[in-house]
């Protein structure tokens, strides 16, 4: 990673893209979705004995707690229709997460020690078997992190979560979003990839539309704009300055190709306090230069 002296960088894979982030910037959260199925990893234990069972009990308790949303005797929040194992390592629960009978939620917890993978998908009750098949497919493809494993796996077009990966090629409807914060320059970084059926307006166009609604004495100004190719994708770059809040926002955006998980809509944003522009620009440039797809 250029421009950061000797600071160690950490390679982070998010969805189907990776970027190198200085070790002083911590990964603080993320959300992931594949084929309308929400994916959430959990580290099991300590202690390891009974850790999976405790995780399963905690998910059932959260479903039970949904009953607190009921305002009428006929409300369905938290009603469990069935619990069953789908495979020897995958437990499932079919329940109502909302008030309508037209939508059920299937939750599944995969035992992939030292990790557990919680999966959740909504659908028509009459299509419950298809929902079960979807969970089993994703569960069978989950690759937990190994002690000697480095991501991304060479030559593998996998979908990466916070710890492990889903060993399935690019599928329609995939979303990944992570946040980082830290560094001596005190930055916050957001990285998002999302499959889109209709690519959004260009980054500059969206900014100009927003600016049109602002008064002439608005504190937000456009400090830099331009086209920028990153990871082989032709995107747009902006640098915004908010003089009221003393904030700089570096933004790069690629609108995405319709219905393409391989070329999704991508946004990389770095927020930081105004000042030390040269150092912060160097950090931003290095982040952009490091971004790449997980597989050619």
Give the total number of structural domains in the chain. 2
pLDDT band, residue 212 (cuts 50/70/90): very low
Residue 284 sits at the vertex; the CA angle it makes with 187 and 16, to the nearest 5 degrees, is 95
For residue 282, give its domain range: 9-35+171-293
* 2 within some domain: no
Q: What is the pLDDT of residue 100?
A: 85
Residues 152 and 84 in one domain: yes
Among residues 166, 201, 236, the one where a domain terminates is: 166
Residue 190 sits at the vertex; the CA angle it makes with 107 and 153, to the nearest 5 degrees, is 65
Among residues 107, 132, 166, the one where a domain terminates is: 166
User: What value does the mean pLDDT take over residues 175-184?
Assistant: 97
User: What value does the mean pLDDT take over residues 264-276?
Assistant: 96
Spatial distance between the Cα atoms of 194 and 33, rounded to a whole number of angstroms: 9
Phi/psi of residue 83, nearest 5 degrees: -130, 130
Among residues 166, 193, 224, the one where a domain terminates is: 166
* Chain segment 20-32, per-residue pLDDT in tens: 999 999 999 899 9
Residues 29 and 95 in one domain: no
**Is residue 261 a contact partner of residue 170, using CB atoms and an 8 Å limit?**
yes
Tokens of 37: 């199925």
Tokens of 62: 């959260």
User: What value does the mean pLDDT take over residues 54-60?
Assistant: 98
Q: What is the pLDDT of residue 202?
A: 64
pLDDT band, residue 3 (cuts 50/70/90): very low
Residues 13 and 109 in one domain: no
Give the three-class secondary structure for 139: helix
Residues 44 and 160 in one domain: yes
Q: What is the pLDDT of residue 140?
A: 98
* Chain segment 226-235, per-residue pLDDT in tens: 999 999 999 9
Indicate the average pLDDT of the chain: 91
* 45 within some domain: yes
Q: What is the pLDDT of residue 78?
A: 95
* Chain segment 125-163, per-residue pLDDT in tens: 999 999 999 999 999 999 998 877 789 999 999 999 999
Q: What is the pLDDT of residue 208?
A: 55
Q: What is the pLDDT of residue 223?
A: 86
Residues 28 and 131 in one domain: no
* 4 within some domain: no
Q: What is the pLDDT of residue 210?
A: 55
User: What value does the mean pLDDT take over residues 57-84?
Assistant: 94
User: What value does the mean pLDDT take over residues 237-241?
Assistant: 94
Phi/psi of residue 228, nearest 5 degrees: -155, 120
pLDDT band, residue 189 (cuts 50/70/90): very high
User: What value does the mean pLDDT take over residues 83-100?
Assistant: 96
Give the three-class secondary structure for 17: strand
For residue 10, pLDDT over 90 is answered with: yes
pLDDT band, residue 99 (cuts 50/70/90): confident
Spatial distance between the Cα atoms of 239 and 225, rounded to a whole number of angstroms: 6
For residue 263, pLDDT over 80 is answered with: yes
Q: Which residues of 271-290 are buried (b: 16+ CB within 10 A; e: fewer)?
A: bbeeeeeeebbbbbebbbeb
Residues 200 and 236 in one domain: yes
């Amino acid at each position: 990673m250029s421009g950061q002296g000797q600071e160690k960088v950490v390679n982070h894979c998010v969805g189907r893209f990776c970027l190198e982030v200085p070790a002083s910037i911590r990964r603080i959260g993320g959300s992931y979705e594949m084929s309308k199925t929400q994916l959430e990893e959990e580290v099991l234990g300590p202690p390891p004995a009974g850790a999976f069972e405790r995780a399963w009990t905690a998910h059932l308790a959260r479903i039970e707690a949904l009953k607190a949303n009921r305002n009428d005797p006929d409300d369905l929040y938290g009603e469990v229709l069935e619990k069953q194992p789908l495979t020897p390592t995958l437990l499932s629960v079919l329940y109502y997460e909302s008030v309508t009978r037209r939508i059920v939620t299937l939750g599944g917890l995969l035992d992939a020690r030292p990790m557990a993978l919680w999966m959740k998908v909504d659908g028509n009750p009459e299509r419950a078997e298809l929902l079960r098949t979807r969970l089993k497919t994703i569960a069978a493809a989950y690759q937990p992190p190994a002690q000697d494993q480095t991501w991304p796996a060479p030559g593998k077009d996998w979908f990466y979560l916070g710890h492990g990966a889903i060993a399935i090629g690019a599928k329609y409807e995939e979303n990944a979003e992570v946040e980082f914060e830290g560094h001596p320059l005190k930055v916050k970084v957001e990285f998002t990839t999302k499959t889109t059926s209709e690519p959004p307006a260009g980054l500059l166009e969206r900014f100009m539309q927003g600016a049109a609604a602002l008064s002439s004495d608005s504190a937000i100004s456009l400090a830099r704009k331009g086209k920028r190719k990153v990871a082989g994708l032709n995107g747009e770059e902006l640098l915004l300055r908010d003089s009221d809040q003393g904030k700089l926002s570096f933004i790069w955006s690629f609108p995405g190709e319709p219905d393409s998980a391989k070329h999704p809509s991508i946004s990389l944003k770095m927020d930081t306090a105004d000042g030390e522009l040269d150092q912060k620009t160097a950090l931003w440039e290095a982040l952009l230069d490091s971004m790449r797809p997980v597989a050619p």
